[in-house]
Amino acid sequence: AKGGEAVANHDSVATMQGGENIIATAINSFGRIDILVNNAGILRDRMIFNMSEEEWDGVIDTHLKGCFTTTRAASPYMRQQKSGRIICISSDSARGNSGQVNYAAAKMGIIGLSNSLTLELSKFNVRSNVIALSDSTHMTGSAPVSTDTQAEAAHEARWTATPPESPAILATLLASDLAEGVNGQIIGARGNEVYLFSHLRPLRFLHHKGGWTPEILCRSLSRLEPLFTPVVGSETWMPWDPD
């Protein structure tokens, strides 16, 4: 509508051949590849004691392996041309979410993948960043909700305030030269909100000369307990409604 050009490819990112074909379509159509947005995803929500191998593999293959297959195919071109922008789509649920062990594992794996891409590709002027979404899409809209009418209405109002188009502005910025200094970061997006996530870092070290025994280690754990972090949902640390 605004003068852009697009081509379609119907291969699956869940296979190496599919990832190669997708990138080849871009190269054959436009002559080069400058920006890669790894955004493919599905949901197969189930509690761990009910989840099948197929439900686990399907989510891991689409989200995590899908990031690998396309990036593996695109990275030689970006390396050769000494420029490129990779944006990997993760989620607030990477921190853990009940009924989504497959999805959370895949989305946390994407963060580790992107961090490694930053370390490997920065010297070739290729940046990699993560967008952690908390927006409603057709995919997340399929997740189970309460059968209570009021709860469903509140859920609908909450997610209506976070249209899936909103993160596109962040992705556009990260793909541009305006974000030249942004590399290896995890940036959240929810409606009109943008927020930066911390990276996984050690908080405190313990050392015992001569090595540990289970008993000595048990007594020493009290020094770590003040820094223990509870596992909670995003509604705990971001309880306000999106605007």
Task: Give catalytic residues, as residue numbers.
Answer: 103
HSE value, Cβ hemisphere, 13 Å, CA-based, for 150 = 0
Instruction: State residue 130 phi and psi, 5-degree precision.
Output: -115, 135
Count the Cβ atoms, other than its own, within 10 Å of residue 242: 19
User: Which amino acid is it at 223?
Assistant: R
Contact 19/73 with Cβ under 8 angstroms? yes
Contact 240/192 with Cβ under 8 angstroms? no
Beta bridge mates, 46 = 100
C-alpha to C-alpha distance for 90 and 94, rounded to whole angstroms: 7
What are the Cα distances from residue 213, in Å, to 106, 219, 222?
35, 10, 15
Q: Is 99 exposed, middle or buried (0-12, 13-18, 19+ CB in 10 A)?
A: middle
Element (H, E) at 133: strand 126-133
Q: Is 48 exposed, middle or buried (0-12, 13-18, 19+ CB in 10 A)?
A: exposed
C-alpha to C-alpha distance for 197 and 23, rounded to whole angstroms: 30
Alpha helices per DSSP H over 122-164: 149-160
